[in-house]
């Protein structure tokens, strides 16, 4: 009995000891949990204090470049202050526990592995901060703030796949997706997993993914849960986030961006009447405008004024004597090519004269003064001198006093007005050589060479024709057609000045030989008898892949007043003459007529072999995209003409201050949701924080966030690859033969002309035909597809990250990033980096800056809606531990995670559109908190 009692007491003692021990461990664990919470709250406070102001730049420590960070601190998040001049101050603050941390040396003192080692990356380690050992909560805490904005966003924008499958929006899907892709590519994260990213069920399932633990709710194409291999999946967390949201901040000046979708918004930079005209819905056609702008008022400002481009002109001139009336006469014939460079039709002014279908009139000025003389008998035959700009036989107001040509551009469709189709090259011949072979006649002088007056030259005498040109050169002016009124007083559509030609002397035999100077009557003189010609063309030789480089990048042909004597600066900074682009085939007019092989050459990139016809045998020349619907990407401003500036300034490295458009503006148009009739945001890249009003407002950034915000200071190759390879649903390519499929998902498509490409029923050609000269300007899409495309895209992402790391510091604003040309250089280096690795160069054997020549601007158009230079979503990893006061050993450990989000509103409730400073912070909100059952894994 006593033994039983002793055993019972011993058991109770043991049980009490165990329970006491368990209770003690439980208390220690609770205290560790509080220490972890303490670490998390300190981290939240640090982020609020340090990242709350505007013009704070974030990036990971690896942006410092190899050798400047410890492997354990590679993923530390740094905060840089903008120096307000395009750079950053050199001493960042690091969002990790401990004081005065340095990523080069790594954590100081005791440290903790706060994120585990993976197959390819070292563990993230941070310093432990000791809590007073005399405190009941004696122990340690640590934290690491992960920058989520430098990662690819798994769920962001994918919901648009389901939204735009609504029958009421299906017609708008292309125009939307071609500017703001419906989510990033995931192939680099889920290798070997077949994901149908265009599947509506998959898009809807993503709505239930709030963290990585929720991924099994997703199904692959075989309806299997999406459960990646554990070790690989841990590593993706450095490069993939569930979603990152961003404040629509102006990083260059602070404050929030202005919504350029507000048609009433104006400022002194780009939000002008001209820009809003460019952005407006045009109803499928643009009217040709005329009149020259004031260089003083428009220089360096948007100037949207649709006009055709005059791309080639030849003026044939013949001079002869008619025996029937003793007169000297001149005949001329003009041919010209006009190009509609836009992706919308150009409509010319309606013709009030029903007898004609005229479009424009081409005027010639500063032509030479010509003297015709008989060198054998100068005393009896009067020399005749005539100014070709003012024929003396006609009054000052007679249209015959000058050389001009009334060009018919035949009507196209209804109404019965002259129209040029999008991208159309239209060759005009005036007069029609099938109707009037002799050309247009003018009397040359008022003196006569006649038998009656004994002033007629003897047969076989030499007639000398001497031409002396004005020093200012020939001027060509295109004016609108009108059946009445002075030609010279009409507002010009375009003008080319100071085209230089040489003086010349021509000698002909009078009344004998081949092509004699004398004719029985004027009707016997035909085009083949012409003596000299003036020719100029826009340089566009499709056998020279660089021939249009300056036209597309340096000299904007949309400028209605081009002076051949002036200069421009090319993208290498070299000064060139405008005359090198507006090139005469020869400067000697007497030789042009002898060698006409260069006239309207079929080797020109811009050409039309059939005159007076809208036949489809011209070579398309889509040079500029014209919005005629919702604009979502600032990259679309690339096609906006800036007067007296290089074309495509916005988005290109030569854009200078105009690239501040990426900092100052964004687009957030509103449309009606067909499902419920309510207003909705048209852009999948924008999230509304409150009810959506139908009318966009310039201050909408105060109540909106960027969905899938991507920090261009990202040093994650996988993230860049994912963002660049955003899949886009397109129709079948013309040469794919997929059975007419209209749902081909392309993982890396970039659009030069997204508005045009969304409207056209034709699509594009793949790499098999992309190098054909007929294709260079015919399409507005470039797709990197197939095995080569996958390798090119991967190397492009690697090149971008390498160049960011070589810079050694983050970009403080988008204007600096765009002007650096970093993306352009990264594209150029594909196929050349590290010996090329057998990867073809992206733009090999393609005409430079043609529509299929992948440029920096094409890439920016795709990423601009979500591109930022900082992050506003952060994940805090916190650790807490308690210490045994007797042994000093760790008695309890807890890990926790929290997601925090920066919002537009400020803590003090002041106007969110104004800059947030260290004294007036934007508010952070804790989105989620979770305690982990074990250490991160």
If you average pLDDT over each of 381-385, 435-439, 450-454, 759-763, which comes out highest?
A: 381-385
pLDDT, tens only, 734-749: 888 777 666 788 888 9
Q: How many CB atoms lie within 10 A of CB 115?
A: 24
pLDDT at 294 over 80: yes
Arithmetic mean of pLDDT, 723-733: 92
Paired residues of 895 in beta bridges? 879
Residue pair 76/96 in contact (Cβ under 8 Å)? The answer is yes
pLDDT at 191 over 80: no
Arithmetic mean of pLDDT, 215-239: 72
pLDDT > 70 fraction of the chain, expressed in percent and rounded:
93
Arithmetic mean of pLDDT, 577-589: 88
How far is residue 391's CA from residue 373's CA, in Å, rounded to a whole number? 17
Nearest 5 degrees, angle CA 885-CA 890-CA 893?
125
171 pLDDT band, cuts 50/70/90, is confident
The closest alpha carbon to 130, from 106, 102, 99, belongs to 99
The closest alpha carbon to 585, from 499, 490, 714, belongs to 499
SS3 865: helix
What is the pLDDT, as a whole number, of residue 190? Answer: 82
Q: pTM of the entire structure?
A: 0.93
633 pLDDT band, cuts 50/70/90, is very high
Arithmetic mean of pLDDT, 583-608: 87
pLDDT, tens only, 678-693: 999 999 999 999 989 8
307 pLDDT band, cuts 50/70/90, is very high
Residue 500 or 9, more confident: 500
What is the pLDDT, as a whole number, of residue 354? Answer: 47
The closest alpha carbon to 755, from 667, 688, 679, belongs to 667
What is the pLDDT, as a whole number, of residue 728? Answer: 93
How far is residue 386's CA from residue 467's CA, in Å, rounded to a whole number? 10
Q: How many CB atoms lie within 10 A of CB 23?
A: 10
pLDDT at 8 over 70: no
- For residue 8, give the H/E element and its range: helix 2-51
Residue with tokens 């239209």: 426
Lowest-pLDDT range, 244-253, 419-428, 792-801, 832-841?
832-841
What is the pLDDT, as a whole number, of residue 912? Answer: 97
How far is residue 366's CA from residue 362's CA, in Å, rounded to a whole number? 14
Residue 621 or 934, more confident: 621
Residue 347, phi then psi, degrees to nearest 5:
-110, 125
What is the pLDDT, as a whole number, of residue 740? Answer: 63
Length of the chain: 937
For residue 865, what are the CA distances in angstroms to 250, 375, 633, 788, 868? 13, 74, 5, 28, 9
pLDDT at 440 over 80: yes
The closest alpha carbon to 153, from 75, 248, 240, 66, belongs to 240
pLDDT at 834 over 70: no
What is the pLDDT, as a whole number, of residue 937? Answer: 55
- 509: which 2 tokens? 């035999």
- Report the interhelical angle of 856-863 vs 717-724 (nearest 10°): 90
pLDDT, tens only, 114-165: 999 888 899 999 999 998 766 666 899 999 999 999 999 999 999 999 999 8
What is the pLDDT, as a whole number, of residue 25? Answer: 62
Residue pair 920/907 in contact (Cβ under 8 Å)? The answer is yes
Question: Mean pLDDT in the chain?
Answer: 90
DSSP code at position 285: -
What is the pLDDT, as a whole number, of residue 230? Answer: 46
- 209: which 2 tokens? 């993914």
How far is residue 646's CA from residue 576's CA, in Å, rounded to a whole number? 13
HSE value, Cβ hemisphere, 13 Å, CA-based, for 790? 6
pLDDT at 7 over 60: no
Residue 928, phi then psi, degrees to nearest 5:
-155, 150
First to last CA, the chain: 54
Residue pair 898/146 in contact (Cβ under 8 Å)? The answer is no
How far is residue 198's CA from residue 92's CA, in Å, rounded to a whole number? 41
pLDDT at 228 over 60: no
The runs of H, that is alpha helices, within 242-305 are 273-279, 295-298
What is the pLDDT, as a whole number, of residue 415? Answer: 61
The closest alpha carbon to 36, from 129, 135, 102, 147, belongs to 129
What is the pLDDT, as a whole number, of residue 19? Answer: 46
698 CB contacts (<8 Å, ≥6 apart)? 258, 259, 262, 264, 265
Arithmetic mean of pLDDT, 67-85: 95
Nearest 5 degrees, angle CA 490-CA 494-CA 495?
95
Reply yes or no: is the peptide bond before residue 832 cis, omega within 30 of 0.
no
pLDDT at 589 over 90: yes
What is the pLDDT, as a whole number, of residue 403? Answer: 95
Residue 596, phi then psi, degrees to nearest 5:
-100, 15
How far is residue 48's CA from residue 66's CA, in Å, rounded to a whole number? 30
Task: Sort residue 741 into left (φ over 0), alpha (ψ -120 to 50) or beta.
Answer: beta
pLDDT at 501 over 80: yes
Lowest-pLDDT range, 137-146, 461-470, 794-803?
137-146
Nearest 5 degrees, angle CA 38-CA 43-CA 48?
125
Strands 494-499 and 561-563: parallel
- 854: which 2 tokens? 């992948």
What is the pLDDT, as a whole number, of residue 908? Answer: 94
């Amino acid at each position: 009995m006593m033994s039983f009692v002793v055993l019972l007491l011993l058991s109770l003692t043991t049980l009490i000891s165990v329970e006491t021990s368990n209770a003690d461990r439980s208390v220690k664990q609770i205290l560790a949990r509080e220490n972890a919470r303490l670490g998390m709250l300190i981290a939240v406070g640090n982020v609020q204090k340090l990242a709350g102001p505007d013009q704070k730049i974030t990036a990971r420590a690896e942006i410092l470049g190899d050798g400047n960070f410890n492997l354990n601190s590679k993923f530390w998040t740094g905060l840089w202050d903008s120096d307000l001049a395009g750079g950053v101050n050199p001493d960042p603050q690091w969002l990790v526990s401990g004081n005065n941390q340095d990523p080069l040396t790594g954590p100081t003192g005791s440290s903790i592995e706060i994120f585990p080692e993976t197959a390819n990356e070292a563990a993230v380690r941070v310093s432990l901060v000791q809590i007073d050992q005399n405190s009941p909560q004696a122990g340690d805490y640590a934290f690491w703030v992960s920058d989520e904005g430098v990662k690819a966003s798994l769920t962001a924008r994918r919901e648009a796949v389901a939204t735009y499958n609504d029958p009421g929006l299906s017609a708008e899907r292309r125009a939307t997706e071609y500017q703001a892709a419906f989510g990033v590519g995931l192939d680099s994260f889920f290798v070997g997993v077949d994901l149908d990213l265009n599947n509506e069920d998959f898009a809807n399932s993503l709505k239930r993914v709030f963290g990585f633990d929720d991924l099994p709710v997703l199904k692959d194409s075989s309806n299997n849960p999406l459960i990646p291999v554990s070790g690989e999946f841990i590593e993706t967390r450095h490069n993939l986030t569930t979603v990152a949201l961003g404040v629509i901040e102006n990083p260059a000046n602070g404050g929030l961006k202005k919504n350029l979708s507000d048609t009433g918004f104006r400022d002194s930079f780009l939000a002008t009447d001209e820009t809003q005209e460019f952005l407006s819905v045009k109803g499928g056609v643009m009217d040709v405008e005329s009149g020259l702008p004031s260089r003083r008022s428009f220089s360096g400002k948007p100037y949207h004024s649709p006009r055709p481009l005059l791309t080639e002109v030849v003026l044939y001139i013949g001079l002869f004597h008619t025996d029937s009336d003793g007169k000297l006469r001149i005949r001329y014939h003009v041919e010209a090519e006009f190009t509609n460079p836009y992706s919308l039709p150009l409509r010319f002014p309606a013709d009030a004269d029903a007898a004609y279908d005229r479009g424009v009139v081409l005027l010639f000025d500063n032509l030479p003064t010509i003297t015709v003389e008989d060198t054998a008998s100068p005393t009896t035959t009067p020399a005749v001198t005539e100014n070709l700009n003012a024929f003396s036989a006609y009054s000052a107001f007679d249209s015959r006093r000058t050389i001009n040509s009334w060009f018919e551009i035949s009507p196209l469709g209804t109404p019965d007005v002259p129209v040029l189709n999008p991208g159309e090259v239209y060759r005009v011949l005036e007069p029609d050589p099938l109707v009037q072979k002799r050309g247009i006649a003018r009397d040359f002088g008022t003196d006569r060479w006649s038998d009656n007056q004994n002033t007629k030259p003897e047969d076989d005498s030499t007639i000398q024709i001497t031409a002396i040109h004005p020093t200012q050169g020939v001027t060509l002016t295109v004016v609108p057609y009108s059946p009445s009124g002075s030609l010279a007083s009409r507002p010009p559509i375009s003008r080319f000045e100071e085209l230089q030609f040489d003086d010349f002397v021509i000698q002909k035999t009078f009344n004998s030989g081949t092509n004699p100077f004398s004719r029985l009557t004027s009707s016997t003189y035909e085009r083949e008898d012409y003596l000299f010609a003036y020719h100029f063309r826009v340089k566009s030789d499709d056998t020279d892949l660089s021939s249009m480089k300056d036209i597309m990048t340096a000299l904007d042909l949309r400028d209605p007043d081009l002076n051949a004597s002036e200069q421009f600066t090319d993208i290498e900074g070299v000064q060139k003459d405008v005359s090198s682009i507006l090139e005469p085939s020869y400067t000697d007019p007497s030789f042009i007529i002898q060698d006409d092989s260069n006239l309207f050459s079929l080797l020109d990139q811009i050409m039309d072999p059939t005159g007076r016809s809208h036949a489809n045998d011209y070579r398309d020349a889509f040079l500029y995209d014209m919005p005629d619907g919702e604009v979502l990407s600032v990259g679309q401003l690339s096609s906006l003409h800036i007067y007296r500036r290089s074309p495509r300034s916005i988005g290109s490295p030569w854009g200078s201050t105009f690239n501040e458009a990426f900092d100052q503006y964004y687009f957030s148009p509103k449309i009606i949701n067909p499902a419920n009739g309510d207003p909705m945001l048209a852009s999948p890249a924008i999230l509304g924080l409150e009810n959506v009003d139908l009318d966009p407002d310039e201050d909408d950034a105060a109540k909106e966030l960027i969905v899938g915000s991507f920090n261009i200071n990202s040093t994650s190759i996988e993230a860049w690859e994912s963002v660049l390879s955003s899949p886009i649903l397109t129709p079948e390519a013309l040469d794919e033969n997929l059975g007419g499929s209209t749902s081909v998902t392309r993982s890396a498509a970039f659009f030069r002309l997204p508005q045009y490409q969304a409207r056209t029923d034709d699509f594009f050609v793949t790499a098999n035909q992309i190098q054909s000269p007929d294709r260079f300007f015919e399409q507005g899409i470039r797709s990197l597809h197939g095995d080569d495309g996958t390798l090119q895209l991967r190397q492009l992402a690697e090149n971008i990250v390498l160049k960011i790391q070589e810079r050694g510091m983050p970009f403080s604003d988008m204007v600096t990033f765009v002007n650096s040309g970093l993306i352009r250089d990264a594209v150029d280096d594909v196929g050349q980096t590290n010996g090329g690795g057998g990867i073809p160069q992206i733009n090999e054997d393609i005409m430079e800056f043609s529509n299929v020549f992948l440029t920096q601007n094409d890439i920016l158009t795709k990423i601009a809606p979500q591109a930022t230079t900082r992050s506003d979503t952060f994940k805090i990893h916190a650790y807490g531990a308690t210490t045994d006061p007797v042994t000093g050993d760790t008695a309890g450990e807890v890990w926790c995670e929290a997601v925090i989000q920066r919002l537009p509103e400020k803590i003090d409730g002041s106007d969110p559109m104004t800059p947030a400073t260290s004294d007036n912070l934007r508010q952070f909100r804790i989105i989620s908190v979770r305690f982990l059952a074990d250490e991160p894994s």
